[in-house]
Structure 1
Amino acid sequence: MTVVLALKCADGVVMASDSQITDPVRELSYPAQKLHPLGKTAAWGGSGSRAVLHDLEQVFGNEAEAIVEAPDVGRALQDRVLPLLEHHYATFIKDVPGGKPGATPSTYVLAAGYSNGQPFIVDIDPHGLIGHHEVTGFQAVGSGAPMAQQAHALLTHFRMAERSVDYGVVAALRVLDALDASSPSVGGPMDICRITAQSAQHLDEEAVAEVRRRVERWVELERRALDELFD
């Protein structure tokens, strides 16, 4: 199961993902990097066909600045994603003799960050359609996306859109940890990118560990408040 999510805050955007890849055809699970830089002020991640995502990594890596600086980031992403989707779908062999039947390869792409000083959260679905999520302030892709949406809904009363990006980083990790606890196919290490209009900072293991300590403190404060609810 894969989950890649983006969360908008008052002064920044957060992208986060797990690092567990599940191959249902070969019944294998293995770690993989799902978050990638997209220029200096954005990041992207995806779910689905690893072949498509590999090709996208090369394209986005070479054309990141052109994408982020485009007048319409969604169209710029679509222009690069669609040809690769069409190529891979056209060359997909549905029935391999002697092999296990596999699902038609589908790929979702999610990108978030700042373009020309404005925040964006954009996804491209397997049909090549563009989705803009700046107003809702949250989007997730991957087989774990419904669970991520539910976990985020349970945190809406904390009004992350009105808080700083540092709160968003903690909220994103809490959502991923909730999925990790409830689904064996979601697993760490967790990847987090803290994005402002000035830069995109991909957190290292030590920084993620510090964020997790803040998550634990948050949970403890909630537990204490609940203990005192009927006092």
Structure 2
Amino acid sequence: MTAVLAIVCQDGVVLGSDSQITDKGRGMTYPAEKLHPLGGQAAWGGSGARSVLFDVRRSFNENSAAILEAPDIGRAMQELLLPIFRHHYETFIPDVPGEEDGGTPAAYVMAAGWRDGEPWIIEITPSGMIGNYADIGFHAVGSGAAMARQAGSLLSHFSLTRRSLRFGCAAVLRVLQALDETSPSVGKPFSLCRIDKDGAHHLTDKEIEQVNKDVRRWVEAEQTAIASIFD
């Protein structure tokens, strides 16, 4: 199961993902990085066929400047992704002897960034449709997306779009930790990327551990507040 999510904050955008890859056809799981740079000003993640996402990563690396400088970022992403999608759809063999579940060539791609003082979150679906989610303030892709959206809605009373990037990182990590507890196919290590006017920064393991300390303090503060009200 894959979960890649993005949250809009007051001063930027935070992306997060798990690192668990499930290969149903071979009955195995393994870790892999799901968050990738998109130039120095944005980041992207994907869910679905690894062969498709490999081609997407190569194309995005080669064309990041053209995407980020385009008047319409969604259209620029779409123009690059449609030929990749079509190629894999046309060459995919659905009925392989001995493999009842060989997967599909479908892939979801989500990118996010900050431009001209405004956030953007864009998804390209396997059918090539463009979705814009910055105004909603939260989006997720992957087989764990529904659970991520539910967890995100449970945090909506914290008014994330009016909070700092530091709080946004804690919120994203807390959602991923909740998914890790409820789904055996969402797994560590987690990846985080914070994006603001100065560009995209992919957090190191040490920085993520500091975010985890913020999450623990947050949980402890909630427990103290509950105790003061109800005990």
Q: Note whether the superposition's TM-score is higher than 0.5.
A: yes
* Kept after mapping to 2: 8 A contact 1:69/1:116: no
Q: Is the counterpart of residue 59 in structure 1 residue 59 in structure 2?
A: yes
Q: SS of the residue aligned with 1:229?
A: helix
2:94 aligned residue: 94
TM-score (ref. length: structure 2) = 0.98
**Alpha-carbon distance between aligned partners in 2 of 1:15 and 1:83, rounded to the nearest angstrom:** 26
Q: Is the counterpart of residue 195 in structure 1 residue 195 in structure 2?
A: yes
| CA deviation map 1:40-84 (0-9, x unaligned) | 110000000000000011000111111011101100111111110
1:179 aligned residue: 179
2:44 aligned residue: 44
Using the TM superposition, give the Cα deviation of residue 99 of structure 1 relative to its aligned residue in structure 2, in angstroms.
2.5
Q: Which sits farther off after the overlay, 111-120 or 221-230?
A: 111-120
**Alpha-carbon distance between aligned partners in 1 of 2:101 and 2:132, rounded to the nearest angstrom:** 34
1:149 aligned residue: 149
**Alpha-carbon distance between aligned partners in 1 of 2:20 and 2:60, rounded to the nearest angstrom:** 22
1:137 aligned residue: 137
Using the TM superposition, give the Cα deviation of residue 124 of structure 1 relative to its aligned residue in structure 2, in angstroms.
0.4
Q: Identity, % of aligned pairs?
A: 55
2:13 aligned residue: 13
Q: Which amino acid aligns with 2:160?
A: M
Using the TM superposition, give the Cα deviation of residue 98 of structure 1 relative to its aligned residue in structure 2, in angstroms.
2.5
After TM superposition, the structure 1 = structure 2 runs for residues 75-94 of structure 1, keeping only pairs within 5 Å, are 75-94=75-94
| Paired residues, number | 231
Q: Which amino acid aligns with 1:46?
A: G
Give the unaligned 5+ runs of structure 2.
none
2:230 aligned residue: 230
Q: Which amino acid aligns with 2:176?
A: L
1:166 aligned residue: 166
Using the TM superposition, give the Cα deviation of residue 164 of structure 1 relative to its aligned residue in structure 2, in angstroms.
1.1
**Alpha-carbon distance between aligned partners in 2 of 1:163 and 1:82, rounded to the nearest angstrom:** 36
Q: SS of the residue aligned with 1:186?
A: coil
| CA deviation map 1:86-127 (0-9, x unaligned) | 000100001012333323321000000123443100000110
* Kept after mapping to 2: 8 A contact 1:68/1:114: no
Q: Which amino acid aligns with 2:121?
A: I
Please tell me the root mean square deviation across aligned C-alpha atoms, in Å.
Answer: 1.0
* Kept after mapping to 2: 8 A contact 1:69/1:115: no
Q: Which amino acid aligns with 2:107?
A: T
1:212 aligned residue: 212
**Alpha-carbon distance between aligned partners in 1 of 2:158 and 2:114, rounded to the nearest angstrom:** 23
Using the TM superposition, give the Cα deviation of residue 34 of structure 1 relative to its aligned residue in structure 2, in angstroms.
0.3
Q: SS of the residue aligned with 1:228?
A: helix
* Kept after mapping to 1: 8 A contact 2:24/2:103: no
Q: Which amino acid aligns with 1:64?
A: S
**Alpha-carbon distance between aligned partners in 2 of 1:76 and 1:137, rounded to the nearest angstrom:** 22
**Alpha-carbon distance between aligned partners in 2 of 1:145 and 1:69, rounded to the nearest angstrom:** 29
**Alpha-carbon distance between aligned partners in 1 of 2:117 and 2:79, rounded to the nearest angstrom:** 22
